[in-house]
A = this chain, B = another copy of it.
């Protein structure tokens, strides 16, 4: 108990987080895995970086005000309850804590490590990945057309830039584009999709450029949410999931319907589990939407063609609107795996299916081999959408005017990269191959090292950018977490962070089967740093097991 108290004190002394236990999930029906997540209540104001700040103004005024406190208009009591229900672990409390520690280090605070390694988010360039030269050249040319006259950039980059500028109002990326995006970029996207899917017809009118994939996913979900009580829209999502989905569902007050991926079977999607989840959900909501993430985030699996066909047939029979998150389509590492787009499989299933299933698929500039997260570029393709609904979608998008045009330009380069024979092709190919090669190597490395640790089991990282290993947490540690009012994997990740400087996200933030524990880590650090990270995890885990071992229980 003394040690418990010490840990609690240490956490509080660190100043970041005042944990308090919420014994019942706020929306038990909607967010069943919430029961395992922790709710944090900030202690005073903590900014993104984890430091408390007070403005001179506020400090001055507070003293002038002589301690009198006037009640605010906007408080936790009057806040939109849907906002309150939102959780987003990828940038959650553990990341805030990591920022705080990092800042402490910079200010000379002593820690048992010299740097914080942030493996919490798929942010390749923050981890040192270099941008694709050609992409940046095209965007710079669009930004400063005077560069078109300079010999500094190659001709093929200039051709791309001129085409994009030609499609912009006033030939400037400073103009709003159409709400759906610049027409010629949408045409380029359509050509890309058609080529990727070996000739499946693609209409650029079904292409909408977006502010990253998240924006597209949110827009489509927004259309689909309706009804009250038992007729409220249910949205089927995988567990584990990328928490954008649970956050969007909470924000839109839809009903989250979980289907569980099969961890024992390399996180495969079993159509029987979809049936189970659907039947159960029908008792309390109207399940209308099926979300798929392929390749998987956080789980890294790549779905087989057969599996996709089964899923699409299920959606066809059950009349579900399918949202396929395919942002990792270029991130396939396992030689046994191949990316199959949902659209292509649907097409191959014949016209009855291809003409029926309403399907939205999402892509992004942030992942793949470009990792251009900051540009907030992306697109979605929506097929079989009711024409009147399509007009409503355009109307909805038009309120936000347009996606960032430089992000649209970045998206254009991704779908229309240098071709063999063009001056930039050799360098482009070299850069692309290097990034994807390194990622494949790191995927293998991560799996191998993690699986060598007693008490950690990691499925192959077939694709995407993450490992989601299962970790054994000894019952005494589970107990301790309970006392501290946090999920056991949060305790684990917090200790990992505090003792090694490694920032990973607890599995409870993504959802997991009850009684199992995981964390998500990216495979994005450089090979050298990744090795260091994995060794530290290994040492930490062994120490953690020993520390919490009971005399009456074996280590694993």
Q: A144-B136, A319-B73, A389-B79 are in contact. Are A126 and B374 (CB under 8 A)?
A: no
CA distance A143 to B375 in the complex (A): 10
Interface residues of A in 24-62 (CB under 8 A from B): 41-42, 44-49, 53-58, 60-62
Q: A388-B41, A407-B404 are in contact. Are A65 and B140 (CB under 8 A)?
A: no
CA distance A248 to B383 in the complex (A): 27
Contacts of A88 in B (CB 8 A): 395, 398-399
Q: A91-B398, A180-B47, A404-B374 are in contact. Are A74 and B125 (CB under 8 A)?
A: no
Q: A74-B389, A80-B223, A373-B174 are in contact. Are A203 and B55 (CB under 8 A)?
A: yes
25 residue pairs bridging A and B, Cβ less than 8 Å apart: A42-B391, A45-B390, A53-B203, A56-B203, A58-B203, A74-B385, A75-B388, A79-B389, A79-B392, A80-B224, A80-B226, A86-B399, A124-B174, A125-B170, A125-B175, A126-B169, A126-B175, A150-B152, A175-B373, A175-B374, A214-B400, A373-B401, A373-B402, A374-B404, A374-B405
Contact B211 A49 (CB under 8 A): no
Within 8 Å of chain B (Cβ to Cβ): is A354? yes
CA distance A351 to B401 in the complex (A): 38
A96 to chain B, nearest CB (A): 9
Contact A176 B121 (CB under 8 A): yes
Within 8 Å of chain B (Cβ to Cβ): is A550? no
Q: A88-B398, A180-B47 are in contact. Are A374 and B174 (CB under 8 A)?
A: yes
Within 8 Å of chain B (Cβ to Cβ): is A107? no
A203 to chain B, nearest CB (A): 3
Q: Which residue of B lies closest to A118 (CB)?
A: B169
Within 8 Å of chain B (Cβ to Cβ): is A247? yes
Within 8 Å of chain B (Cβ to Cβ): is A542? no
Contact A226 B79 (CB under 8 A): yes
Given contacts A48-B178, A75-B389, A131-B174, 7 further A-B contacts (CB under 8 A): A47-B205, A57-B202, A88-B395, A92-B398, A125-B174, A174-B374, A218-B400
Within 8 Å of chain B (Cβ to Cβ): is A264? no
- In the complex, the 10 A-B pairs of residues with the closest C-beta atoms, listed nearest first: A55-B203, A126-B169, A57-B201, A374-B405, A45-B387, A91-B398, A140-B144, A126-B175, A404-B404, A61-B355
A392 to chain B, nearest CB (A): 6
Contacts of A399 in B (CB 8 A): 86, 88, 214, 244, 247-248, 251
Within 8 Å of chain B (Cβ to Cβ): is A283? no
Contact B172 A406 (CB under 8 A): no
Contacts of A81 in B (CB 8 A): 226
We find that the number of chain A residues with CB closer than 8 angstroms to chain B is: 131
Contact B372 A174 (CB under 8 A): yes
Binding site for B on A (CB under 8 A): 41-42, 44-49, 53-58, 60-62, 64-65, 70-76, 78-81, 83-84, 86-88, 90-92, 121, 123-129, 131, 136-137, 139-140, 143-144, 147, 150, 152, 168-170, 172-180, 183, 200-203, 205-206, 211-212, 214-215, 218, 222-226, 244, 247-248, 251, 288, 319-321, 347, 351-352, 354-356, 358, 366, 370-376, 383-392, 394-396, 398-407
Contact B226 A358 (CB under 8 A): no
Contacts of A180 in B (CB 8 A): 47-48
